[in-house]
Chains A and B, each alone.
Chain A
Amino acid sequence: MDDRDLVGLARRGDREAFGQLIVQYQVPLYNMALRMVGAPDDAADIAQEAFLRAWEKIRTLRDAPFKSWLFQIAANLCYDHFRRGRRYGMMPDDDQGAKIVSLGIATPDPQERAEANERNRLVRDSIAGLDHDMRMAIILRDVNGMSYEEMAAVLRVPLGTVKSRIARARSAVQERLQQHPDLFPMSTPTEDAHAE
């Protein structure tokens, strides 16, 4: 059963089907919001609100892909968040807190782990330093892995704009990361015009 099937059921009031859509998208949606707004509580509020609005309006969704539609709602909420500078609700304390799911086996070497943490912090800070449009573009592409077409639907901008925003965002992040060559030893253009 794919998204279209689940949406069809949800439009008829099937909460189980919508629950499956929530499970499918809660992690990428939350991470998109987290990379946009920074604070876990704010990101969770935005994801929660996006699911609420999607549930509320699911019957208006016809042929558009659910994923793009859902992320469009969340993206708008992120922009609202910046415009209004306020939270969407106060949440009770979470005694368990957010858990980071590590990639691969955690290295036993404290030095390597510390460097990895520092690299991640610098990447996060570099993304946070982008303007909202470029930040959204690079997050949807490189955090959420969306295609340009999906992004154009989410952001409601032409493909050329998507392409431009991603490129400029990557270039800006690269500039920031290159200030830390010990942690990000990147390739640099040479004057040599020819490849080997």
Chain B
Amino acid sequence: MPSESHTPIEPTLAELSAYLDHELDAGAQARVAEHVAGCNRCKARLDGLRQTAYAIRGLPMETPPRSFTVPQRSPRRSWAPVAGWVGSLAAATVLVVFGVTHLNFGAGPAATTANRSVSGGLAAAPAQPVQPYGAAAPLYQSETQASVAKAITPVNSKTAIDPTNSSRSLTIGTDAHAYAANGVLRLHVATAGLSTNEASTVRIFLVRDQGQGGYAIRLAPATSAPGYPLHYDAAYAIPQMPLPSPVAGNYVLQVEIQLSDGSALIAWLPLTITS
């Protein structure tokens, strides 16, 4: 084995750290590799940096406590007066909504209604499939009136209340917090306080945690005229979902209910897929 005296000059801390990230040019990368291979001290320094980086990367990604929104008006022109409101209680209260968010995307069925706000939720018009994303059809689905609903027993569930009308709520539930990559995800979506005149399309997405390379797939075909109150049960085979590898990771199940006034109720639920 080469001795340290025969190996290239000892790398600096910055070089070792950049070597770990493959951020050196090819020559430097090779030089550091050759040195580390022959130097226990630098190998230990590199291992320490690597273990530290792994410890930080192992911190769980946390989901935001609320949806993020932008105003309904066009950028630049209409927002100039609002830009000065940074830090304003009024602006924050109007623009930021917890758990449930109103949105209005011009391309959707709300195109002819007054714009109210835009949410961070995925939103594709029913007539326009979500082109950037794949889709998965359910193994079975039932969408019924509450009186005849055959619901799963959710063990992972969240209910979001409409901040503008506390009698309205949207509940998402799944039959587990974590699923095997070859498993079946069963979900239940229910609304309360919404009539068929007040709500229309349901959209369901499985969104991959951004920290692991974000993307989204649509879990159900748009239902053109679901009945309300909605009780929707469906099962999806995870292997049939067009999920890029590695499939294992953190996801958020996101459900949107399009409302007749052009806004939408959105709720989300974290879940995990394991290998």
Identify the A interface with B (CB < 8 A). Answer: 1, 10-11, 13-16, 18-20, 22-28, 30-31, 34-35, 40-41, 43-45, 47-49, 51-53, 55-60, 86-106, 119-120, 123-124, 127, 138, 141-145, 147-148, 160, 163-164, 166-168, 170-171, 173-174, 177-178, 184, 186-196
Contact indicator B161/A47 (Cβ below 8 Å)? no
Where the two chains meet, the residues of B that have a C-beta atom closer than 8 Å to any C-beta of A are 1-5, 12-14, 16-18, 21, 23, 37-45, 47-49, 51-53, 55-72, 74-76, 79-80, 82-83, 86-89, 91-93, 95-96, 98-99, 103-108, 115, 118-125, 131-132, 158, 160-161, 163, 177-178, 207, 209-211, 214, 216, 248, 250, 252, 254, 270, 272, 274
C-alpha spacing A66/B62, complex, angstroms = 22
User: Could you list 18 further interchain pairs (A-B, Cβ under 8 angstroms) beyond the known A31-B62, A104-B272, A178-B48?
Assistant: A15-B118, A23-B122, A30-B64, A40-B62, A44-B96, A48-B68, A51-B120, A96-B98, A99-B270, A101-B62, A101-B209, A103-B60, A104-B178, A123-B59, A142-B56, A170-B49, A186-B48, A195-B43
B-chain residues with CB within 8 Å of residue A148 when the two chains form the complex: 18, 21, 23
Residue of A with least CB distance to B271: A101
Q: Which residues of A contact B4 (CB under 8 A)?
A: 193-194
> Are the C-beta atoms of B106 and A27 separated by less than 8 Å?
no
Chain A contacts for B270, CB-based, 8 A: 99, 101
Q: Shortest Cβ distance from B97 into chain A, in angstroms?
A: 8
- A23 partner, pick from B72, B83, B121, beta carbons under 8 A: B121
In the complex, what residue of chain A is closest to B43 when comparing beta carbons? Answer: A195
Contact A90 B89 (CB under 8 A): yes
Chain B residues within an 8 Å CB radius of A22: 68, 70, 119-120
Supply 9 A–B pairs (Cβ within 8 Å), ascending by A: A26-B67, A27-B64, A91-B96, A101-B60, A123-B58, A166-B17, A170-B17, A186-B52, A195-B38
Contact for B64 among A44, A90, A141, CB less than 8 A: A44
Q: B residues within 8 A CB of A167? A: 12-14, 16-18, 49
Residues from chain A with Cβ under 8 Å of B16 in the complex? 167
Kindly list chain B residues whose C-beta atoms are within 8 Å of the C-beta of A98: 62-65
Q: Which of A18, A95, A141, A143 makes the CB contact (< 8 A) with B161?
A: A95
Q: What's the minimum C-beta distance from A6 to chain B, rounded to whole angstroms?
A: 8
Chain A: interface secondary structure? helix
Q: How far is the CA of A193 from the CA of B125 in the complex (A)?
A: 65
A192 to B88 alpha-carbon distance, docked (Å): 61
Cross-chain contact B76 with A194 (CB below 8 angstroms) = no
CB distance from B220 to the nearest CB of A (A): 17
Provided the pairs A55-B79, A102-B272, A193-B39 are in contact, do residues A19 and B103 lie with their beta carbons within 8 angstroms?
Answer: yes
Residue of A nearest to B272 (CB): A102
B248 to chain A, nearest CB (A): 8
B38 touches which of A13, A49, A194 (Cβ 8 Å):
A194
A193–B93 CB distance below 8 A = no
A164 to B21, CA, bound (A): 13
The reply to whether A190 and B40 form a contact with Cβ atoms under 8 Å apart is yes
Residues of A within 8 A of B95 (CB): 48, 52
Would A101 and B70 be within 8 Å (CB), given that A55-B75, A92-B93, A96-B99 are in contact? no
